[in-house]
Amino acid sequence: MSLLDCMFDGVSKAADHQMRLFLGEHYLRLQTLLNYASDDMARCLAGQYRNLKQTARELIKREEDALNHFMSLTHMDPTLNAE
């Protein structure tokens, strides 16, 4: 990990690493670029929400196989479905 990566992405990457160690295959991280939307949550405009929804739809479509696989693992593990 370069110094710039550490400065900009260090906390996120550390959390991702820890969750993978802790949860193993029961952890799935999905990440995407915000090409159409801003991550500035102070900009509560209708267009912003529409753009975030579009970005989410694209992410779900792109990661459909990974999501289906993850959900199948979750449904097979009785400890995750305990009430």
20-39 residue pLDDT tens:
999 998 899 998 888 776 66
Rounded CA-CA distance 44/62 in Å is 26
Instruction: Please indicate, yes or no, whether residues 27 and 39 belong to a single structural domain of this protein.
Output: no
Instruction: Please indicate, yes or no, whether residues 39 and 13 belong to a single structural domain of this protein.
Output: no
pTM of the prediction? Answer: 0.66
- Give residue 24's domain range: 1-31
Question: 42-46, 51-55, 61-65: which range is least confident on average?
Answer: 42-46
What's the domain count of the chain? 2
pLDDT tier, 60 (very low <50, low <70, confident <90, very high otherwise): very high
Instruction: Please indicate, yes or no, whether residues 45 and 75 belong to a single structural domain of this protein.
Output: yes
Instruction: Please indicate, yes or no, whether residues 23 and 43 belong to a single structural domain of this protein.
Output: no
Strands, E assignment, 1-83: none
How many residues belong to the chain?
83
Rounded CA-CA distance 58/4 in Å is 29
Instruction: Please indicate, yes or no, whether residues 42 and 63 belong to a single structural domain of this protein.
Output: yes
Read off φ and ψ for residue 34, nearest 5 degrees: -95, 85
Instruction: Please indicate, yes or no, whether residues 1 and 38 belong to a single structural domain of this protein.
Output: no
Instruction: Please indicate, yes or no, whether residues 49 and 67 belong to a single structural domain of this protein.
Output: yes
